[in-house]
A and B are shown apart, each in its own frame.
Chain A
């Protein structure tokens, strides 16, 4: 079956602009996660959805970052007034039910570059 997909694969934008990053999880997975990975680092948690609701958004760095999952499948990560420090790879993952032993399946990521 299809894995997690993310679009676009690359996004270049200018400082101050607004961007949206999309994640299509594996069909039937109720849990969805967003991570940010900077160069030379492991992924850092941003937000976790269980169904349509954000169960944990403690990793969002500030109020410029927002994510939605209105129908419990596709999710969009939105970044307002982008800054150069937002440049990173944004990874999305999904898992079946969100249990602590669930395996998370990752997408290929979106590489965001803010000029």
Chain B
């Protein structure tokens, strides 16, 4: 079974609108971490946001927030006020327990229209 599932291969959003990118995960560990990365066409993976499984508050970083629903095992990324520069691939990843190695999903391509 896939550990990280990103069901949206592509998403489109109008500039200045908010968009939600879906991510569900599968683990039996109680301790784990969830990450979102952005990969523009240049290829570099850019860290966006982190949520620990024991964190009670949803993580936020500027225009990025993580909608963490533990019971549903979902960790959706919300981007508010989309900008043209947000057009990129977005990857959800999870580290389980004490592992140093994250498992990545297949990614969602986001295109922001003017």
Within 8 Å of chain B (Cβ to Cβ): is A115? no
* Chain A positions within 8 Å of B52 at CB level: 101
Point out the residues of chain B lying under 8 angstroms from A108, CB to CB: 42-44
In Å, the complex CA distance between A22 and B19 comes to 37
Within 8 A of B (CB), among A10-56: 31, 33, 40-45, 48, 55-56
The number of inter-chain residue pairs (CB within 8 angstroms) is 62
Which chain B residues lie closer than 8 Å to A102 at the CB level? 100
Contact A89 B45, beta carbon cutoff 8 Å:
no
Contact present for B100 and A107 (CB under 8 Å)? no
Q: Mark B78-107, 1 if CB is under 8 A from A, else 0.
A: 000000000000010101011111111111
In the complex where A100-B95, A101-B33, A101-B52 touch, is A31 in contact with B44 (Cβ < 8 A)? no
Identify A100's interface contact among B42, B97, B105, B107, CB under 8 A: B97
Chain A interface extent, by class: 20 to 34
Nearest A residue to B96, CB-CB: A100
Q: For the complex, is B50 an interface residue (Cβ under 8 Å from A)?
A: yes
CB contacts (< 8 Å) of A103 on chain B: these are 35, 47, 50
* Mask: chain A, 77-99; 1 = CB below 8 Å from B; 0 = not: 00000000000010101000011
A72 to chain B, nearest CB (A): 16
Q: Mark B19-60, 1 if CB is under 8 A from A, else 0.
A: 000000000000001010100001111110010100000000
Once the chains are docked, how many angstroms separate the CA of A101 from the CA of B96? 10
7 nearest A-B pairs in the assembled complex, by CB-CB distance: A42-B104, A106-B45, A108-B44, A109-B43, A45-B101, A42-B91, A103-B47
